[in-house]
């Protein structure tokens, strides 16, 4: 993992695990970066059984996660929400964060939170593993979900 205060990476063996990758479609280029990081992390950890679902926006991530959570060992949710001049930002962020939290707690299936909530596109690019950026939140979300799934 990267960033101040983040824990050190741990080795995770995902062999035999089934994982749902749920990804929104808003902000295509940045989503491609998050998805590439997540898919690579799944490959690196030996996860071969992956169900990948696309939804329109981050608002729809919780319902997709809720539907899939009972059928998998872990869910990884990816999205990008960029602050605009409307209150939509706050509503979409709250819906995604609250909804995904509820899914994980109510189903007992770990949900890796890979939703970027940022002020501008530059911040999103910095966190999405694009253009050699230091952070790779797609990868981090996979490791968080798998580490939790293996620990439980
Ligand atoms: C409406 C909306 C807005 C303004 N911004 C974003 C965004 O930055 N990122 C994102 O993933 N989705 C956004 N959406 C779409 C909502 O998530 C949702 O898809 C729509 O409100 C339809 O339910």
Residues 6+ apart with CB under 8 A from 16: none
Report pLDDT for 1. Answer: 56
pLDDT value at position 2? 55
59 in contact with ligand 1, CB cutoff 6 A: yes
The residues spanned by each domain of the chain are: 18-149
pTM, two decimal places: 0.95
> How much is the pLDDT for 114?
98
Please tell me the distance between residue 26's alpha carbon and the centre of ligand 1 in angstroms: 7
**CB distance 81 to 50 below 8 Å:** no
Report the pLDDT value the prediction gives residue 149, as an integer from 0 to 100.
Answer: 97
What is the rounded CA–CA span in Å between residue 76 and residue 140?
10
Q: Are 75 and 110 in contact (CB under 8 A)?
A: yes
pLDDT at residue 77 in the model? 98
Please enumerate, by residue number, every residue annotated as part of a binding site.
26, 58-60, 80-82, 85-86, 113, 127
What pLDDT, on a 0 to 100 scale, did the predictor assign at position 88?
87
Instruction: Give the whole-angstrom CA distance, residue 81 versus residue 119.
Output: 9
pLDDT digits (tens), the chain, 152 positions? 556 676 767 889 999 999 999 999 999 999 999 999 999 999 999 999 999 999 999 999 999 999 999 999 999 999 999 998 678 899 999 999 999 999 999 999 999 999 999 999 999 999 998 877 779 999 999 999 999 999 99
Strand 74-82 versus strand 18-24 pairing type: parallel
pLDDT at 68: 98
- 3-class DSSP state for residue 141? helix
Q: What is the pLDDT of residue 47?
A: 97
pLDDT of residue 85: 65
CATH number of 18-149: 3.40.50.960
Indicate if ligand 1 lies below 6 Å from the C-beta of 24. yes
Is the confidence metric ipTM above 0.90 for this complex?
yes
Are the CB atoms for 138 and 33 separated by under 8 Å? Answer: yes
């Amino acid at each position: 993992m990267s960033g101040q205060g983040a824990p050190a990476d741990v080795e995770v063996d995902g062999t035999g695990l089934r994982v749902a990758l749920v990804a929104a479609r808003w902000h295509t280029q940045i989503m491609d970066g998050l998805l590439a990081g997540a898919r690579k992390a799944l490959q690196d950890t030996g996860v071969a059984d992956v169900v990948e679902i696309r939804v329109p926006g981050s608002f729809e991530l919780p319902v997709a996660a809720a539907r899939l959570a009972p059928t998998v060992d872990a869910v990884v949710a990816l999205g990008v929400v960029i602050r605009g001049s409307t209150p939509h930002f706050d509503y979409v962020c709250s819906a995604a964060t609250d909804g995904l939290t509820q899914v994980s707690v109510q189903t007992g299936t770990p949900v890796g939170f890979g939703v970027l909530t940022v002020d501008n596109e530059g911040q999103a690019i910095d966190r999405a593993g694009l253009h050699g950026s230091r952070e790779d939140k797609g990868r981090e979300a996979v490791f968080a979900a798998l580490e939790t799934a293996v620990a439980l």
